[in-house]
Copies of this chain bind each other. A is one copy, B any other.
Amino acid sequence: MTADLVGRLGQIVGPAGLISDPGGMAGHVTDWRNAYSGTAAAVVRPGDTGEVAAVVALCRDAGVAVVPQGGNTGLCGGAVPDSSGRQVVLSLTRMRRIRDLDVANQTITVEAGAVLQSVQEAAAAAGRLFPLSLGAEGSCTIGGNLATNAGGTAVLRYGTMRDLTLGLEVVLPDGRIWNGLRGLRKDNTGYDLKQLFIGAEGTLGVITAAVLKLFPAVRSRATAWAALPGPQGAVDLIGVLREIAGDRLTGFEIMSRQSVEFVLRHSSGARDPFGDQHPWYALVELSDTLPHAGLDEVIEAALGEAFDRGAVRDAVIASGSAQATALWALREGISEAQNHEGPSLKHDVAVPVSRIPAFVERTDRALREAVPGIRIVTYGHVGDGNLHYNLSKPVGSDDEEFLVRAEALARLVYDSTHAFHGSISAEHGLGHSKREIIADYADSHGLDLMRGLKQLFDPRGLMNPGKVLPGL
């Protein structure tokens, strides 16, 4: 039966589109961090939307589950098959065409398998900006960005992937193709169906192409690094920046001292911008479409005002792009640097911006009570209320002893997040890893509606089962 199915899949996608040997499938059944692993009946890589539809219809008729997959860079196991060996991984990576770029309409139409960086580059070549920016941009795909409603460092100004999307093409769970590929900024003709597929992690259908928004290219930039007395300083500083710089504010990241210390220790060439240590830091970026926009003066005025209000202790403005890159490297090196300090427990949460100081105080205190000496690597996107609340074991303690507490520590972070009306998954999605725990924090009527939607779109439960929804 499985052999027969694999043969028929091969007839649809051709030899170039079928992988059925364990060696070839290895990179598709385990995630990049080796955190989630499964097996598959086959990996299929269709070459166009029609082939995707044929694959989905065939699997539906055979009662076989389909696991859509892009660059396989997710953090929650949403693109990895289960261990049954009966699921089919549907990789979109051969569908990477840029179908259209309309400068006057400020839109780009791309296939789901296009790598994010290639879309950024195509936009830049046309003098435009596609603003989504995140660590995995060199290998993650637009389809994965859509399926997880990806965020990153530019959400502050440009929004999440949902905000950047005007239209979608989707293969529905029954194999029909829904053509919602419209490049319109206003279209009020019934329910906005595309919104259901964005962030659904492949559980309602397979996104095969999208029309995305472009923006004017940025021609000047200013970057600064500021020392803060605490999280309240970050909230105050971003308030001052918004008032003065307005839309010029395109980046605002904070980092606890612990986060920066790991980078200084493990990243070659990393250097502390200040002689003194400070408990928290902010990385600020302004940008403008004008080539000589006087951004250094604007950022200086804002930092001066924040200093006067006690929100900032010290600050340095990058004198050129090399120094700006070095400052960004301090922020971007955190995740990698933390790996050198033993296992990392990662949490991706969001609370209202105004609640960040109280949230951090409460969560830190609870974590330190639970595990004395725990090292708390908090960093993230203050403008979005989004913190990566990552944890490393106390110095000299045992890995396993720390790891067995992972679930309890996650509970602690999530309980605190929930108390501040926050989200336990700000930008990573639920995938496999958070799909059960969400039941304890979600509105029960909302969960009912989600289960109803899943049943409506995918009554046989064959689209990425075991992901997103608890108990399904």
A residues with a Cβ closer than 8 A to B are: 102-107, 127, 148-149, 151, 155, 159-160, 162-163, 172, 176-180, 182-193, 195-196, 198-200, 204, 216-217, 235, 239, 242-247, 288-290, 298, 350-355, 381, 383-386, 421-430, 434, 438, 441-443, 445-447, 449-450, 452-453, 456-457, 468-469
Contact = CB atoms under 8 A, between A and B. Distances in A.
A187 B242 contact: no
B190 A105 contact: no
Label chain A's interface by main secondary structure: loop
Contacts of A176: 445
Given A178-B443, A187-B350, A191-B196, 6 more contacts: A103-B239, A104-B235, A186-B386, A187-B426, A189-B423, A190-B450
Contact of A184 (B179, B182, B290, B385): B385
Contacts of A438: 189-190
Copies in the complex: 2
Contacts of A429: 188
Contacts of A106: 242, 353
A239 B424 CA distance: 41
B428 A352 contact: no
B189 A216 contact: no
A169 to B, nearest CB: 10
Query: A106, A162, A185, A424: which has the most chain B beta carbons within 10 Å?
Result: A185
Contacts of A217: 243
Contact of A216 (B204, B242, B450): B242
Contact of A427 (B179, B180, B188): B188
6 contacts: A151-B188, A177-B445, A187-B423, A191-B196, A192-B198, A245-B290
A457 B445 CA distance: 12
A429 to B, nearest CB: 5
A381 B443 CA distance: 39
A289 B187 contact: no
A457 B422 CA distance: 26
Contact of A290 (B246, B427, B457): B246
Nearest to A453: B191
Contacts of A422: 184
B456 A423 contact: no
A132 to B, nearest CB: 13
A160 B166 CA distance: 12
B151 A183 contact: no
A199 B188 contact: yes
A177 B448 CA distance: 12
Contacts of A447: 190
B185 A385 contact: yes
A354 B178 contact: no
Nearest to A218: B246
Given A242-B216, A298-B290, A193 B102 contact: no
Contacts of A427: 186, 188
A242 B200 CA distance: 33
Given A184-B351, A246-B290, A456-B456, A189 B442 contact: yes
Contacts of A204: 191
A214 to B, nearest CB: 10
Contacts of A185: 155, 160, 350, 383-386
Given A105-B354, A239-B104, A354-B102, A151 B449 contact: no
Contacts of A469: 190
A56 to B, nearest CB: 13
B288 A385 contact: no
Contacts of A151: 186, 188
A243 B298 contact: no
Nearest to A194: B195
A188 B428 contact: yes
